[in-house]
Amino acid sequence: MKFNKATLVATAAAMSLGLAACDSAAENEAEENIEEMEDARDNQVDAMEEAGEITEDQADVMDDQTDAIEESMEEQADEIDEM
Protein backbone atom coordinates (compact mmCIF):
# COMPACT_ATOMS: atom_id res chain seq x y z
CA MET A 1 0.00 0.00 0.00
CA LYS A 2 1.44 3.35 -1.00
CA PHE A 3 0.81 6.37 1.22
CA ASN A 4 2.25 9.77 0.68
CA LYS A 5 3.01 12.41 3.26
CA ALA A 6 -0.13 14.41 2.42
CA THR A 7 -2.32 11.38 3.06
CA LEU A 8 -0.72 10.74 6.41
CA VAL A 9 -0.99 14.38 7.47
CA ALA A 10 -4.63 14.52 6.33
CA THR A 11 -5.39 11.47 8.45
CA ALA A 12 -3.84 13.10 11.49
CA ALA A 13 -5.72 16.34 10.83
CA ALA A 14 -9.02 14.47 10.57
CA MET A 15 -8.31 12.74 13.88
CA SER A 16 -7.53 16.11 15.42
CA LEU A 17 -10.83 17.55 14.26
CA GLY A 18 -12.61 14.54 15.72
CA LEU A 19 -11.08 15.29 19.10
CA ALA A 20 -12.58 18.76 19.13
CA ALA A 21 -16.06 17.22 19.17
CA CYS A 22 -15.35 14.81 22.06
CA ASP A 23 -16.68 15.29 25.56
CA SER A 24 -14.99 14.27 28.80
CA ALA A 25 -16.50 10.79 28.73
CA ALA A 26 -14.79 10.16 25.38
CA GLU A 27 -11.25 11.12 26.40
CA ASN A 28 -10.07 7.52 26.83
CA GLU A 29 -11.56 6.53 23.49
CA ALA A 30 -9.92 9.54 21.86
CA GLU A 31 -6.56 8.54 23.28
CA GLU A 32 -7.04 4.97 22.03
CA ASN A 33 -7.81 6.37 18.57
CA ILE A 34 -4.68 8.50 18.73
CA GLU A 35 -2.57 5.46 19.58
CA GLU A 36 -4.16 3.52 16.72
CA MET A 37 -3.42 6.39 14.32
CA GLU A 38 0.18 6.52 15.51
CA ASP A 39 0.62 2.77 15.11
CA ALA A 40 -0.93 2.83 11.63
CA ARG A 41 1.25 5.73 10.53
CA ASP A 42 4.38 4.10 11.97
CA ASN A 43 3.56 0.91 10.06
CA GLN A 44 2.97 2.90 6.86
CA VAL A 45 6.28 4.73 7.21
CA ASP A 46 8.09 1.45 7.88
CA ALA A 47 6.49 -0.14 4.81
CA MET A 48 7.42 2.85 2.65
CA GLU A 49 11.02 2.65 3.85
CA GLU A 50 11.21 -1.11 3.29
CA ALA A 51 9.78 -0.70 -0.22
CA GLY A 52 12.43 1.88 -1.04
CA GLU A 53 9.86 4.65 -1.50
CA ILE A 54 11.57 6.82 1.12
CA THR A 55 15.03 6.94 2.65
CA GLU A 56 15.89 6.20 6.26
CA ASP A 57 16.35 9.93 6.87
CA GLN A 58 12.91 10.66 5.41
CA ALA A 59 11.42 7.92 7.59
CA ASP A 60 13.07 9.45 10.65
CA VAL A 61 11.57 12.85 9.82
CA MET A 62 8.14 11.30 9.34
CA ASP A 63 8.48 9.41 12.64
CA ASP A 64 9.33 12.69 14.38
CA GLN A 65 6.28 14.29 12.77
CA THR A 66 4.12 11.40 13.95
CA ASP A 67 5.38 11.84 17.50
CA ALA A 68 4.65 15.58 17.38
CA ILE A 69 1.15 14.98 16.00
CA GLU A 70 0.45 12.37 18.66
CA GLU A 71 1.66 14.65 21.44
CA SER A 72 -0.47 17.55 20.20
CA MET A 73 -3.54 15.36 19.86
CA GLU A 74 -3.06 13.89 23.33
CA GLU A 75 -2.81 17.39 24.77
CA GLN A 76 -6.10 18.20 23.06
CA ALA A 77 -7.64 15.05 24.55
CA ASP A 78 -6.40 16.06 28.00
CA GLU A 79 -8.03 19.46 27.59
CA ILE A 80 -11.38 17.74 27.11
CA ASP A 81 -11.59 17.24 30.90
CA GLU A 82 -10.94 20.93 31.44
CA MET A 83 -13.92 22.00 29.35
Instruction: Round to whole Å and give the CA distance between 35 and 9.
Output: 15
Specify the pTM: 0.65
pLDDT > 70? residue 18: no
DSSP string, 21-76: T--GGGHHHHHHHHHHHHHHHHHHHHHHHHTTSS-HHHHHHHHHHHHHHHHHHHHH
pLDDT score for 78 = 79
**Average pLDDT of span 44-73:** 95
Return the half-sphere exposure (C-beta side, CA atoms, 13 A cut-off) of residue 65.
Answer: 17
**pLDDT by residue (tens digit) across 45-55?**
999 999 999 99
